[in-house]
Amino acid sequence: METLTCRLLPFATADGQHNMAADEALLDSAVGGIASLRFYGWSEPTVSLGYFQPHGLLEKDKRLSRLPFVRRPSGGDAILHHFELTYALALPAGNRWCGPEPWLPRMHGIILDALAGCDVTAQLCTEPSKDRFQGLLCFQHVIAGDVVIGGSKVVGSAQRRRKGATLQHGSILLTVSAFAPLLPGIRELSGHSLAAPPIRVAVTAAFAANTGWDVQPADWTDDEKRRIRELTLTRYTQDAWNRKR
């Protein structure tokens, strides 16, 4: 049986425009047959809007309206990227990359296993919140399959597909932010203060164990670096994209 290979790209911290351009570049590479997993941080507190969200919603929250924002290529609700760890998984088209269940719950199950290895007990939500459409932030809304601790969401993800390939990216909320004080993180809910590096290691190990794939550290290709620069300049820094709704 063929062993599939997935690149593990180096952790990096960057602004929102670069991060979203990098994720879209991963989707382009997945269309070309390359699977990738990466973890990253944000150089300053930033809001990422879901593809279909009106940017004017930010004006309803005085804290969030002061922050830089970028529009994601994926749907879903806005995420405040502050004290959190973001992951991105890009997979080519084809049944061999699909696995036994859809990737949203599967990746959340992998993160559950990783958190358990860090002595944090979490669950997959089976009872969606009743106020599904209240508030603009993703972590205000709990839907089936989200990772929760005591009913509060600590992991949420979104997807974008292109020519059968999949980009899935999501946020692991480590601790509460002053810009969203009503959203507790893993530290407040579990009593465990987890830093990003051990979570990255744990999720990578759980991912490899779950998939059986060969997860190989690798760097961006020169073509990907050029594509990231292009997307940053022509899309993610442009009002025509970020304020398109």
DSSP string, the chain: -PPPEEEEPPPEEE-HHHHHHHHHHHHHHHHTT-EEEEEEEESS-EEEE-TTS-GGGGGG-HHHHTS-EEE-SS-S-BEEESSEEEEEEEE-SSGGGT-SS-HHHHHHHHHHHHHHHTT---EE--S--TTTTSSSBGGG---TT-EEETTEEEEEEEEEEETTEEEEEEEEE-S-BTTBTT---HHHHHS----HHHHHHHHHHHHHHHH--EEEE----HHHHHHHHHHIIIIIT-HHHHT--
Phi-psi map region of 111: left, alpha, beta (phi>0 left; psi -120 to 50 alpha): alpha
Residue 98 falls in the annotated catalytic set: no
Angle at 13 between CA 157 and CA 58, to 5 degrees: 55
The answer to whether 74 and 104 have CB atoms below 8 angstroms apart is no
Active-site entry in 6, 98, 118, 138: 138
Q: Would you please indicate which residues are annotated as catalytic (active-site) residues?
A: 138
